[in-house]
Amino acid sequence: MKSYFAAAIQMNSLPDLQKNLVQAEELIDVAVRRGAELVTLPENFSFLGDEVAKMAQADAIAQESEKFLKTVAQRFQITILGGGFPVPVGNGKVYNTALLVGPNGQELARYEKVHLFDVNVPDGNTYRESETVLAGMRVPPIYPSKELGSLGLSVCYDVRFPELYRQMSQLGAEVLFVPAAFTAYTGKDHWQVLLQARAIENTCYVIAPAQTGRHNAVRQSHGHAMIIDPWGMILADAGEEVGVAIAEIRPTRLEQVRRQMPSLQHRVFV
């Protein structure tokens, strides 16, 4: 693992596939110009806002999203994470799928979101992700990159389940991805503290690209795409505007924190 710059992109995706992909490409270009070799896109980067329309276009969204990730990875010579897009499973539902693609356009890792957001939020909005999404059944994969470190995939609501990340750290994860479309209401209280907790307890870097702003009449995201170091320090925060959070990922920092706070070696209950 070498030192390198990573980017957590913050988007305001809408129910418009092509507009979202244009927005994503513009932000990827900004990230690369600022030196990013690893770029991450948020959950629902290619389509967000209307579930009926999403399901009607699921095949096209899946195909265009995967094609887009492979094309931009090759064009910009980067490793890129597409943080979540619908992939039909043949029973009227989709997997919420995160896809990691290498600079040659090859698929490196794929993860189907395990924890589905079926929640009555106190602001009056109700979310039932399981109505259209089939839960994945696999522990998130760890992709061992010699240059970028061991990369662990997750998606949004997963961040509330620490056992998932503990399994990934046991499997050798050094950098944890948490791409999200966190609701504005829950995000103001929980987003930052959950990300810091996952970083601290696993002594890992956390890279969390995010959605921000309004996506339709009822859906609003919190923003604050972040990169956090293994000590829980916030290295970059995109705030509430569309943009890019960029920070350096340093193996020496990872080694220092794990040496000074060797909590992963002190576990009693496995």
What's the full length of the chain, in residues?
A: 270
3-state DSSP of the chain: CCCEEEEEEEECCCCCHHHHHHHHHHHHHHHHHCCEEEEEECCCCCCCCCHHHHHHCHHHHHHHHHHHHHHHHHHHCCEEEEEEEEEECCCCCEEEEEEEECCCCCEEEEEECCCCCEEECCCCCEEEHHHCECCCCCCCCEEEECCCEEEECCCHHHHHCHHHHHHHHHCCCCEEECCECCEHHHHHHHHHHHHHHHHHHHCCEEEECEEEEECCCCCEEECCCEEECCCCCEEEECCCCCEEEEEEECHHHHHHHHHHCCHHHHCCCC
Q: Are 93 and 132 in contact (CB under 8 A)?
A: yes
Domains present along the chain, CATH in parentheses: 4-266 (3.60.110.10)
91 has pLDDT over 90: no
Cα 205 to Cα 6: distance, rounded to the nearest angstrom: 11
Mean pLDDT of the chain: 96
Helix-helix angle 184-202:162-170, to 10 degrees: 30
Across residues 31-47, what is the average pLDDT?
98
Active site residue 204: no
Q: Which residue has the higher pLDDT, 269 or 108?
A: 108
Active site residue 131: no
pLDDT digits (tens, 9 = 90+) for 138-178: 999 999 999 999 999 999 999 999 999 999 999 999 999 99
Set 37, 51, 64, 156: catalytic member: 156
pLDDT digits (tens, 9 = 90+) for 194-207: 999 999 999 999 99
Set 54, 113, 174, 204: catalytic member: 113
Cα 121 to Cα 127: distance, rounded to the nearest angstrom: 8
* pLDDT-derived band at 35, boundaries 50, 70, 90: very high
Q: Are 230 and 205 in contact (CB under 8 A)?
A: yes
Look at residue 270 in the predicted model and tell me its pLDDT: 76
Terminal Cα-to-Cα distance of the chain (whole angstroms): 27
125 has pLDDT over 90: no
Cα 238 to Cα 224: distance, rounded to the nearest angstrom: 5
111 has pLDDT over 90: yes
Set 43, 64, 66, 174: catalytic member: 43
Q: Are 117 and 127 in contact (CB under 8 A)?
A: yes
pLDDT digits (tens, 9 = 90+) for 208-262: 999 999 998 888 999 999 999 999 999 999 999 999 999 999 999 999 999 999 9
Helix-helix angle 17-33:58-76, to 10 degrees: 20
Cα 118 to Cα 170: distance, rounded to the nearest angstrom: 28
% the chain with pLDDT above 70: 100
Active site residue 64: no
Across residues 71-81, what is the average pLDDT?
98
This prediction's pTM: 0.97
* pLDDT-derived band at 50, boundaries 50, 70, 90: confident
